[in-house]
């Protein structure tokens, strides 16, 4: 393994906050890179998580893994989410991250994707509580006991269990709390459910009643109204937007507006044009050129899905070769929508 100094150094980050008025951005594989995190912060995200990072990827000096850690001082508070299936690699990865200045780590034991589960990681760990707790204790010790530094914080992403009839809550959550966990994020489905069926928000409320550490709610939060309803019915400390943020990064501001008695914004083509243009601007500043272009282009269909012409635009996007052509295509789609840069200078 490379020394910790080889991992991209982290600027000082503020600690994560747990407040119903301050929603989080979830760790979205393939999407929550630095440009998207910065965009969501500008639209009200209080805390952002990195894409899920393999502990073994850190050990084997994977260039792609290091790119997932790309950050800036404005990217704060920042939580790094990792996954792994054995205590040694998770502990070594955590020590390396702490040595590079990353203080806040979230451990994923909720991912049900097959390639993760085959490694005995993600939600597969819910089927082996003893192994999970060995990993959890090793991680907590690595993050909190590093000599001469400010202690970090550790959270855990959970599901209800591997399958119905094999529930792990609240016992597993209480054991994590006793071991020193600082928060728990609950996606209230079973691993075998994937994203099918409906998330059982009542389970978030039941867990929040049993533990004294913050519980973050997730699952089926497609709009800010969904987030407010979850908080009002579950006593969650806050919520974590995933797919809802991919559809509309302004979901974080809308969340705060609704919680303070204001109304949510209606879908607006001008506002959407500003979001997309700003995303492109941030991607060109912070992203590796080719990957940033491909990723940004892939997000646009999610943004425009509710507007006339979205299907046609999606097909034409596949043929766009570069930023200039992309901007021309978007100009045609948003014809008449003001350019945010023109507003700022005018």
Q: What is the pLDDT along the chain (346 residues), one digit of tens a residue?
A: 444 447 878 999 999 999 999 999 999 998 999 999 999 999 999 999 999 999 998 888 667 888 899 999 999 999 999 999 999 999 999 999 998 999 999 999 999 898 998 889 999 999 999 999 999 999 999 999 864 567 799 999 999 999 999 999 999 999 999 999 999 999 999 999 988 989 999 999 999 999 999 999 999 999 999 999 999 999 899 999 999 999 999 999 999 999 988 877 777 888 999 999 999 999 999 977 788 898 899 899 999 988 888 898 988 998 999 999 999 999 999 885 544 444 433 3
Helix (H) or strand (E) holding 342: helix 340-345
Beta bridge partners of 186: 158, 217
Which backbone phi and psi does 243 adopt, to 5 degrees?
Answer: -60, -30
Locate the domains of the chain by residue range. 4-259, 269-345
Helix (H) or strand (E) holding 99: helix 87-99
Say how far apart CA 157 and CA 100 lie, in whole Å.
Answer: 23
Helix (H) or strand (E) holding 25: strand 24-25
Please report, in angstroms and rounded to a whole number, the separation of the first and last CA atoms in the chain: 52
User: The whole model's pTM is what?
Assistant: 0.92
> Topology of 4-259 in CATH?
TIM Barrel (3.20.20)
3-state secondary structure of 235: coil
């Amino acid at each position: 393994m490379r020394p910790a100094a080889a991992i991209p150094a982290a600027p000082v980050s503020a600690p994560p906050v747990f407040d119903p008025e301050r929603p989080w951005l979830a760790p979205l594989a393939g999407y929550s890179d630095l440009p998207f995190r910065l965009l969501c912060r500008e639209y009200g995200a209080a805390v952002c998580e990195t894409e899920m990072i393999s502990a073994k990827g850190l050990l084997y000096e994977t260039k792609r893994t290091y790119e997932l850690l790309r950050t800036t001082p404005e990217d704060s508070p920042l939580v790094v989410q990792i996954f792994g299936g054995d205590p040694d690699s998770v502990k070594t990865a955590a020590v390396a991250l702490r040595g590079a200045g990353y203080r806040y780590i979230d451990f994923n034991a909720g991912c049900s994707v097959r390639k993760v589960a085959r490694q005995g990681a993600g939600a597969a760990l819910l089927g082996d509580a003893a192994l999970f707790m060995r990993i959890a204790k090793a991680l907590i010790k690595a993050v909190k006991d590093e000599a001469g530094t400010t202690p970090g914080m550790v959270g855990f992403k959970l599901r209800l269990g591997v399958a119905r009839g094999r529930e792990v809550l609240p016992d597993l959550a209480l054991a994590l709390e006793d071991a020193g966990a600082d928060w728990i994020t609950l996606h209230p489905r079973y691993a075998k459910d994937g994203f099918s069926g409906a998330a059982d928000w009542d389970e978030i409320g039941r867990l929040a009643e049993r533990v004294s550490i913050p519980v973050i709610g997730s699952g089926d939060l497609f709009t800010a109204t969904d987030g407010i309803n979850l908080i009002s019915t579950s006593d969650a400390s806050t919520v974590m937007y995933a797919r809802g943020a991919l559809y509309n990064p302004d979901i974080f501001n809308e969340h705060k507006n609704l919680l303070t008695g204001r109304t949510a914004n209606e879908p607006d083509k001008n506002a959407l044009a500003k979001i997309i243009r700003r995303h492109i601007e941030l991607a060109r500043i912070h992203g590796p050129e080719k990957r940033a272009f491909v990723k940004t282009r892939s997000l646009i269909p999610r943004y425009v899905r509710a507007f006339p012409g979205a299907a046609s635009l999606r097909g034409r996007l596949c043929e766009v070769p570069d930023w200039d052509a992309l901007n021309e295509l978007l100009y045609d789609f948003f014809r008449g929508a003001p350019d945010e840069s023109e507003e700022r200078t005018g």
